[in-house]
Amino acid sequence: MKFQFCGSMIKWVLVLLFSLASSAFASSADSGRCPWKLPFTITIHAAGNLHSYGHSVPTHGQGQSYDNPIVPATEDFVLTLDTSSQNIHSIYPNARISFFITSDTLRFSKSYDDSLTGTYSTDSVSMVISFAHAKDSILSLQCAEFRHSVPYLGMPISEDNFAFQLSALSFDDTSIFSTDSSFSGHLISLTDHRSSIFNLYPNFPEFGTFDYVDFTAKAVTLAGIFRQKQFTDPSIAQIPWHLPFHLIVHAHGTGQDHSTHFDSTDLDITVWNAQVATKDTFEFISNWLGGTESDTSVLIKFVPGQDSIASLDARVYGSLTLTNFTQRLRLSSGSAFHISSLAFDDSSIFSSDSSFCAHNISLASSADSSIGDLQYFYNSTIIKSFTSSDVDLSGIFRPMHYACAEAVSRQEPSNSALIVTSSNNSVRCSFRASQNARSIKVYDVLGSEVAVYQIPSESTTATFSNLSRGLYFIRLEGEVEKAIIP
């Protein structure tokens, strides 16, 4: 009896050990079962860049578009793998679930339609995990989610497309983890594209307002089924200066319109973020499209291994278009600034000398206007061009005046300081007094002189009327200003 009891005990011990061994084997992906207890959650906190843009197409008139600057942003995402139909169907009766796992792949998808909350919406989630055979390793993990929402009133229609992937991970029966935190080393990618469409004419989908937002991650912090870890790339250079910062240039030089005279101009750029930031390049780009268009860019090239700047280029362009039933007026202007051979620290850009020529400094700007009817867009008249001879820098620059040694004399600008305002069919001019009598000349967009008004000495204002509707250029001595008669 004693022997039989011991044999029976051994038998049950073997059964228990076999059961435990089988359970241990089943926790591996090679067993064809999910390595982790279900349900589990993937939590993502992402840091990156946000870009918003869009356009509108009205049924009548001119449409507009916009393209906002790319700005730093953070977003959070949560994805849950839950195969329990009871849990999901209690919320979404028409949910569809698919889940299966083989020795090397886990696939999960869930989709549902919802029309009970005053909005018709669809939501689909998918997850694919590829395992390395006979290893506790993950070759790749991919997640995606798509949402589509339409209110009962039909507008606006919104969509959200999210995609996330990474590779080269390890796992055990409780978590997914990695021995390093390289963002690029794990081929991590996270994007989120959102759109909103407002269209009151379903039969004409090309009309309406279309808004879009794109988010792209540069770093992520993972949690949930992941052992919490931040993935980023320390190899990407940090921007030397705190954002935002300003580039401010006040330049003296030669302005050209109908005659040549010395003038001054200013350039002030706010740098909000960096589209490119590496050990040898910094680039900022900002665009705005619509009735008013503007393009701003700053490109800084560093000397590798030194706190030095090889070159800095800044460009600004802007235009304004005005239309009525018969005419269109377009005004545009642009400036370009260049400087080289500078030093920097974590607070400013500077140089040990103030030579305009040695630093290859240049600032050029121009402006022009065009006017015509809506069928024949005729004539382009240069209003002003400018080339610098010396500059004052500030903002992110340590304040410094740069000039060439030979540029020591400069003719003073004209005393006229002409200011022009218009209303109805009259134009009012104000200017500084002069001891001499002068004349104001009025030109049309073709450059033809249409009127001359004599200004007595010591006078500071002049008003003249009976001008037809259109664009005019008012000239007093060396000053030229434009006037629009509506």
Helix (H), strand (E) counts: the chain: 2, 30
Q: How many domains does the chain have?
A: 3
Distance CA 420, CA 426 (A): 11
Domain boundary among 403, 435, 458: 403
Is the pLDDT at 314 greater than 90? The verdict is: yes
By percentage, how much of the chain surpasses pLDDT 90? Answer: 27
pLDDT at residue number 27: 41
Chain position carrying tokens 């228990």: 16
Distance CA 8, CA 4 (A): 6
Top-confidence range, 135-149, 416-430, 438-452: 135-149
With respect to residue 342, please indicate whether it lies within any of the assigned structural domains. Answer: yes
Is the pLDDT at 114 greater than 50? The verdict is: yes
Domain boundary among 209, 231, 253: 231
Is the pLDDT at 381 greater than 60? The verdict is: no
Is the pLDDT at 188 greater than 90? The verdict is: yes
pLDDT at residue number 119: 60
Are 99 and 204 contained in the same domain? yes
- Average predicted confidence (pLDDT) for the chain: 78
Distance CA 272, CA 270 (A): 6
With respect to residue 7, please indicate whether it lies within any of the assigned structural domains. Answer: no
Is the pLDDT at 348 greater than 60? The verdict is: yes
pLDDT digits (tens, 9 = 90+) for 18-60: 444 434 333 455 566 889 998 999 999 998 888 888 888 776 6
pLDDT at residue number 293: 65
55 three-state secondary structure: strand
With respect to residue 48, please indicate whether it lies within any of the assigned structural domains. Answer: yes
Let me know: does 137 contact 178? Beta carbons within 8 Å.
no
With respect to residue 106, please indicate whether it lies within any of the assigned structural domains. Answer: yes
Are 303 and 376 contained in the same domain? yes
426 three-state secondary structure: strand
pLDDT at residue number 160: 92
Is the pLDDT at 17 greater than 80? The verdict is: no
Are 134 and 283 contained in the same domain? no
pLDDT at residue number 112: 79
Average pLDDT estimate for 211-236: 87
Is the pLDDT at 239 greater than 60? The verdict is: yes
Domain boundary among 200, 231, 262: 231
Are 368 and 477 contained in the same domain? no
Top-confidence range, 113-117, 354-358, 449-453: 354-358
Are 118 and 251 contained in the same domain? no
Are 42 and 186 contained in the same domain? yes
373 pLDDT tier (thresholds 50, 70, 90): low
Are 372 and 277 contained in the same domain? yes
CATH code: domain of residue 439: 2.60.40.3080
Between these two residues, 486 and 313, which has the higher pLDDT value? 313
With respect to residue 297, please indicate whether it lies within any of the assigned structural domains. Answer: yes
pLDDT at residue number 364: 84
pLDDT at residue number 322: 63
Determine which of 40-44, 157-161, 346-350, 465-469 has the lowest per-residue pLDDT on average. 465-469
Task: Return the exposure string of 96-120: e unless at least 16 CB atoms fall within 10 Å of the residue's CB, then b.
Answer: ebebebeeeebebebbbbbeeeeee
Are 288 and 218 contained in the same domain? no
With respect to residue 237, please indicate whether it lies within any of the assigned structural domains. Answer: no
Are 393 and 259 contained in the same domain? yes
With respect to residue 434, please indicate whether it lies within any of the assigned structural domains. Answer: yes
**Number of residues written out for the chain:** 486
Cβ neighbors of 23 (< 8 A, separation 6 or more) are none
Distance CA 173, CA 167 (A): 18
Burial class of residue 470, CB neighbours in 10 A (0-12, 13-18, 19+): middle
Task: Return the exposure string of 194-219: e unless at least 16 CB atoms fall within 10 Å of the residue's CB, then b.
Answer: bbbbebeeeeeeeebbbbbbbbbbbb
Are 189 and 48 contained in the same domain? yes
Let me know: does 3 contact 11? Beta carbons within 8 Å.
no
Let me know: does 99 contact 107? Beta carbons within 8 Å.
yes
Are 250 and 142 contained in the same domain? no
Domain that holds residue 450: 419-485
pLDDT at residue number 65: 79
Are 213 and 321 contained in the same domain? no
Distance CA 361, CA 337 (A): 7
With respect to residue 14, please indicate whether it lies within any of the assigned structural domains. Answer: no
Q: Residue 360: what residue type?
A: N
Is the pLDDT at 270 greater than 80? The verdict is: yes
13 pLDDT tier (thresholds 50, 70, 90): very low
* DSSP codes, 446-464: TS-EEEEEEE-TT--EEEE
pLDDT digits (tens, 9 = 90+) for 456-483: 888 888 888 777 777 777 888 767 777 7
Cβ neighbors of 390 (< 8 A, separation 6 or more) are 251, 252, 253, 356, 401, 402, 403, 404, 407
Is the pLDDT at 331 greater than 50? The verdict is: yes
